[in-house]
Amino acid sequence: MISNVHVIISGRVQGVWFRANTKQKAEMLGLTGWVKNTNDGRVEAVFEGDNDKLDEMIKWCHKGPSLSKVDKVDIKKQKPTDEFDGFSIRY
């Protein structure tokens, strides 16, 4: 089953290659969507794909790349949109 989740990751998540590693992990899992830095120092992302793969991506977001320190991950389930061609980094 295909689902869509919107996540906001808080902690030391900017300047530690979080977006690039998120993109790499999402593509490896076959997910679509996007990731971006927010003005308040967090990282925001939307992932769309198979539920099992989304669960794996969310687990990864709780840890992130080796230089990050994730304090909190807010997750909001949404209806799938099927609007994404791939996974992108937004600026």
Residue 35 has a pLDDT of 98
Q: State the residue range of the domain holding 53.
A: 2-82
Overall number of domains in the chain: 1
Q: Are 6 and 76 in contact (CB under 8 A)?
A: yes
Active site members: 19, 37
CA distance 18 to 9: 10
Residue 57 has a pLDDT of 98
Residue 9 lies in a domain: yes
Residue 62 has phi, psi (to 5 degrees) of -70, -20
Residue 88 has a pLDDT of 98
Residue 20 lies in a domain: yes
- Write down how long the chain is: 91
Task: Give the domain CATH number at 56.
Answer: 3.30.70.100
- Per-residue pLDDT tens listing for the chain (91 residues): 899 999 999 999 999 999 999 999 999 999 999 999 999 999 999 999 999 999 999 999 999 999 999 999 999 999 999 999 999 999 9
For the full predicted model, state whether its pTM sits above 0.85. yes
Residue 91 lies in a domain: no
Residue 88 lies in a domain: no
Residue 17 lies in a domain: yes
Residue 55 lies in a domain: yes
What is the DSSP-derived secondary structure letter of residue 41? S
